[in-house]
Chains A and B, each alone.
Chain A
Amino acid sequence: MEQINNVGGFSAKKVDDKTLILFFGPQHPSSGHMRIIVKLDGDIIVESDPDIGYVHRTMEKLSETKEWIKNSVLFERLAILDAGNVTQAYIIALEKLLNVEPPPRALYLRTILSEINRISSHLYGMGIFAIMIGSSTGYMWFFGDREIMVQLAERITGSRLTHTYHIPGGVRRDVSNAFLEELEKGLNYIERRLKDYEVMFVNNPIIRSRLENVGVLSRERAIELGVTGPNLRASGVSYDVRVEEPYGAYQFVDFEVPVYKEGDALARTFQRFDEIRQSISILRQLIKSIPEGPVLNEKYLKLFTKKMKDIWDAEKRVKFPSIFANLRPPAGKAYGRVEEGRGEIFFYLESSGEAKPYRVRVVTPSFRNSILLKYLPVGERLADLPAIYGSIDYFPPEADR
């Protein structure tokens, strides 16, 4: 069965009679933009081969042809449901190269956007997950309530999904106190709804029976496979970039990293619920303690012309000084990493002192988690494949840069 013959580019695999090869995707209601080639023995998956390269957008190559600042617009297309966190990782790495630091208020605003993004990303992931196991109500609820977080993000950044909020040395817009009140209202709503979700979704006996002991990822296996994010923590490893290498305003707030031992699909679902609760608590602390002040590094504020200052005073909106169009970080290398909703995103930048990056390497959480699609479904039933796929919150366009 495992014999592979390679003759002149053509490959043929020998399969025994009992095995059924099933192409799960790329045009499958729950596969997303990818394909999983599963081999079935009866109803049991004996081999699973994720073929994740269906939405390749050549980001690493493309970034070498664009100016540094323009790349932030490119990279947030990695995962537009979590764009704030993705851009933040890139900008953190770029700030290391440029050796600038954002002022405290900008750090707070970045973290507020990060957490709003995290909640909306978790709600999105669970919505997809719900429809995969047939709970259409869960799907509609999660997607409907995600709208609240998306609109809050729009209130901060001016755009629903592709925020382009972070710039080296700060952020693009300031927020008013009225927004912070809105945010508090939104958080209260989500907190109230979390109880409804528990009744309707996770504690629903049918849903629970589909998730318990499905796709169990042991602690050792999770570490070995380099899994990241909620999937890692649901397997009992307490690891969170927000704690390991605090960025933004995470050093100013208290929060717990929830951990579950079981490592099954149910634990991963509970993990996301707990993370949403932590995010709400973080956001509440941030609302209370956000400092006043500028949102852009003084180095750049000095370069503001009269007109830019007027716009800043009137609309609290940063007009780019011309230096941003032609950023030339000194030659060197830097990395930036951020805990995204789905896990750790890692940017490695290499500059040769030019206006364009020499090399950008980005490793996304979904790419690191995609290896689970190869190892977790083996031995499970075919019907568990969507449950596993949904529970690891896999987002194909993010994995396939």
Chain B
Amino acid sequence: MLDSFILFIKNIILWPPVFYLLIAPGLVTILISLLLLIWAERKIAGRIQMRYGPLEISPKIGGAIQLVADLTRYMLQEIIIPRTVDTLPYLIAPIAGFIISLLPVAAIPISPIYFPSPMTNSIIVALALTTLPPILNILAAWASNNKFSLIGGARESFLIAAYELIVILSAIGAMVIYGTSDFTEAVSLQKNLWGIILNPISAIAFYVAVLMATGRFPFEIAEAEAEIVMGAYTEYSGLLYGLSMGISYTRMFVYNVIFSLLFLGGWQPFFTIGGHIFISYVLIPATVVILKALIVSLTMVFTRAIYGRLRIDQALGGAWKFWFLVAIVGLIWGSALTYLQQVI
């Protein structure tokens, strides 16, 4: 009886859709990565800025669980809902935004044989799903009924138009080389040579576009605390505010999982340990992918300590006049590689 129950639970958890969305690279992994990322961001920034960073909670491990304390505070804090807001969308926006920012995980495999859902167009589906959360951001801005939020939402919508195209074009730049729109196949083709070496131009364009998409410095324009007071999230407090802060980190992590699958060889180097199927085909590849994504994310949060904030016109100008062209050059480069390969 008990054995069959444990087996049932095990099967449920290991059922790919549940495992992917809940364990890795889903909710649990993302929470742990957030813990690490935000802690590292604070610590690195602290080291550069001549201060300690978090140290009050758990001083022995360098304040590593500070985020847990922050989350607890957010949870216990009163959620103040201003009278002037449009209540339903105001409540829905950050919650749905957080969930939707996790959605692309449903199309991202982190193992060669263990898929969240069997599909051959997983790259396209994942990229399509990453474009959804900004809409919720704009909804939050509109529902807040605040001028600063409105400006933040307007800025976000300008930025979406600029970065989405670069993300998708540079992803296509990689897809052209692999000749497939399936993550698993793309990764297996990178066994000897990673995508970043085959098509560095598209990789750089993708990286910058992700910086822009997730509001990292110097593109922290839609939030811009010193200018428009956190933009769309001006009116949020408590847990809702905590969630909305989580959205950009979650998006960044998801984007970077895609980045490491497309350009950093995914779970390569891939190796198996005889007799341990779960460890060989799920745990090790998942760890490799997540580690790669974490390292890329770290370089992204690190920009906070170096750069200031660009102006919206500078960011848009840079995106359309320079990075858009870079993405197109990357696409041409990828096509040229494929053509040469066929000719030779």
| Contact surface of A with B, Cβ cutoff 8 Å | 20, 22, 28-30, 43, 130-141, 144, 200, 204, 206-207, 209-210, 381-386
**A206 near B50: Cβ-Cβ < 8 Å:** no
A382 touches which one: B151, B225, B314 (CB < 8 A)?
A: B151
A30 touches which one: B227, B305, B312 (CB < 8 A)?
A: B227
Chain A interface, DSSP helix/strand/loop, else mixed: helix
| Nearest-CB residue, chain A, relative to B45 | A136
Q: Chain B's nearest CB lies how many Å from the CB of A201?
A: 9
Given A134-B218, A137-B45, A140-B50: A210 and B311 interface contact (C-beta under 8 Å)? yes
A91–B294 Cα gap in the complex (Å)? Answer: 60
**A20 near B147: Cβ-Cβ < 8 Å:** yes
**B310 near A386: Cβ-Cβ < 8 Å:** no
**A137 near B305: Cβ-Cβ < 8 Å:** yes
On chain A, the residues within 8 Å of B314 by CB distance are: 209-210
**Contact of B76 with A by CB under 8 A:** no
**Contact of B273 with A by CB under 8 A:** no
Given A22-B147, A131-B226, A386-B227: A381 and B311 interface contact (C-beta under 8 Å)? yes
Q: Chain A's nearest CB lies how many Å from the CB of B105?
A: 31
On chain A, the residues within 8 Å of B310 by CB distance are: 206, 209-210
Q: Chain B's nearest CB lies how many Å from the CB of A209?
A: 6
- Using A137-B305, A140-B51, A204-B308 as known contacts, list a sample of 4 further A-B pairs with CB atoms less than 8 Å apart, ordered by residue number in A: A137-B49, A206-B307, A206-B308, A383-B311
**A133 near B45: Cβ-Cβ < 8 Å:** no
Q: Chain B's nearest CB lies how many Å from the CB of A30?
A: 4
A-B residue pairs in contact (CB < 8 Å), sample of 23: A29-B226, A29-B229, A30-B227, A130-B308, A134-B308, A134-B309, A135-B308, A136-B305, A137-B48, A137-B49, A137-B305, A139-B49, A140-B50, A141-B49, A144-B49, A206-B307, A206-B309, A206-B310, A209-B310, A210-B311, A381-B312, A383-B312, A386-B227
Q: Mark B288-328, 1 if CB is under 8 A from A, else 0.
A: 00000000000000001111111111100000000000000
A307–B51 Cα gap in the complex (Å)? Answer: 46
On chain A, the residues within 8 Å of B151 by CB distance are: 22, 382
A138–B228 Cα gap in the complex (Å)? Answer: 20
**B309 near A210: Cβ-Cβ < 8 Å:** yes
B226 touches which one: A20, A133, A209, A381 (CB < 8 A)?
A: A133
| Nearest-CB residue, chain B, relative to A40 | B151
